Chains A and B, each alone.
Chain A
Amino acid sequence: MVAQQDALLAQMRRGTLQYCVLSLLANEERYGFDLVRGLAEMDGMVTSEGTIYPLLSRLRRDGLVESTWQESPAGPPRRYYRLTDSGRAALEGFRLEWRRFRDAVDHFVERTET
């Protein structure tokens, strides 16, 4: 049962992680390290930091984020990510669906809590 639950959690995390990344970029540009640390602040969201990069690469290829090089106050230039218009639309769409889904699950799960 525990193994099953772990697998379920991993699946849920996998499915929602990209929207958490898009959300972090909703109001500001961020560079990779900053983004990864932002996600890692929430317990349980990221198990190993490096696995975010394949996701970022995928989001960029799908045109949901774009990256630009910017000078850093200290050290070499940084690659900053920001949302594209279609990234913003994808995030909006997910928000609506997520609320509906969350409310529906809450409706059953919370009611039968003992």
Chain B
Amino acid sequence: MSSTADKLIDDYLKRLNRELAGFPRARRRELVDEISEHIAEARADLESENEAAIRTLLDRLGDPEDIAAEARERFGARSKGSGWDVVALIMLLVGGVILPVIGWIIGVVLLWVSETWTTREKLVGSRPGASRCSSTQSATRRVMRCGRRGSTTRSRVRRSSFREPRRAHGLHGSCHAHCRRRSAVSHRPEERPVAHRRSTIS
């Protein structure tokens, strides 16, 4: 029996981990750890351990998708930080033009203190000239969109956008064209993402 139980629990935690992809690694690990602690406690609390009891235990815990949705809701609608995220992006994109070198450095620092991006995205974003890279642009779209929507739609938007960096890899060619166009209108930062979004979606 115990191997069936272990497998059910293992599958559940793996699914949860997958659903939380896109959160900073520390936060994801914290949530998965706490939920596996919960499972261990609940399991020890069972009168008799059988497959039905384990399934009931996991049902009570809820669908991993719902837990991830809750996490996005609780952390997605951040009040502090998101304004700085926009500043970080602007500095990374055009900071070097406004304040040579220093502007870009400010952008990199803000990028690394933010919790919006994954470590991989931060590494990509820190490369000089990264603003021409498609990953940075998808991250830009993500933050700009989050800032433009209400909190109810925000979680949905974040959810779909978490997967963007991977998808964006095939866009290099067209993105360079966008990039040149974007730098021409860079004095209107709030209008850029909309135009960019429409052109990539259509």
Interface residue ranges, A against B (CB under 8 Å): 14, 31-33, 36, 40, 47-51, 53-58, 74-76, 78-79
A58-B77 Cα distance, complex, nearest whole Å: 11
Does B60 contact A48, Cβ atoms closer than 8 Å?
yes
Q: Give A40 to B67 CA distance when docked, in angstroms.
A: 16
In the assembled complex, the Cα of A78 lies from the Cα of B44 at a distance in Å of: 13
Q: How far is the CA of A51 from the CA of B35 in the complex (A)?
A: 10
Stretch at the interface among B68-76, B118-126, B160-168, B169-177: B68-76
Name B41's closest neighbour in chain A (CB-CB).
A33
- Check A51/B66 contact, CB under 8 A, given A57-B30, A57-B71: yes
A31 to B42, CA, bound (A): 12
Inside 8 A of A40's CB, which chain B residues have their CB?
Answer: 60
Q: Is the CB of A53 within 8 A of B67?
A: yes
Give A65 Cβ to nearest chain B Cβ, in Å: 13
Would A50 and B67 be within 8 Å (CB), given that A57-B30, A74-B44 are in contact? Answer: yes
Contact A49 B60 (CB under 8 A): yes
A-B contact count (CB 8 A): 69
- CA distance in complex: A49, B57 (Å): 10
**Sample (9) of A-B pairs whose CB atoms are under 8 Å apart:** A48-B60, A48-B66, A49-B38, A51-B70, A53-B38, A54-B74, A54-B75, A76-B37, A78-B41
In the bound assembly, the distance between CA atoms of A54 and B45 in angstroms comes to 23
Residue pair A75, B40 in contact (C-beta under 8 Å): yes
Separation in Å of the B34 CB from the closest CB of chain A?
Answer: 5
B residues 54-72 touching A (CB-CB < 8 Å): 60-64, 66-67, 70-71
> Nearest 10 A-B pairs (CB), nearest first?
A48-B62, A33-B41, A54-B71, A51-B70, A50-B61, A50-B67, A58-B74, A50-B62, A54-B70, A54-B74
Q: Which of A50, A54, A74 is in CB contact (< 8 Å) with B38?
A: A50
Cβ of B34: which chain A residues have Cβ within 8 Å of it?
Answer: 32, 53, 56-57, 79
* A50 x B44 contact (CB < 8 A): no
Interchain CA distance A14-B70 in the complex, whole Å:
10
In the complex, the answer to whether B31 meets A54 with C-beta atoms within 8 Å is: yes
The distance in angstroms between the C-alpha atoms of A36 and B61, with both chains bound, is 10
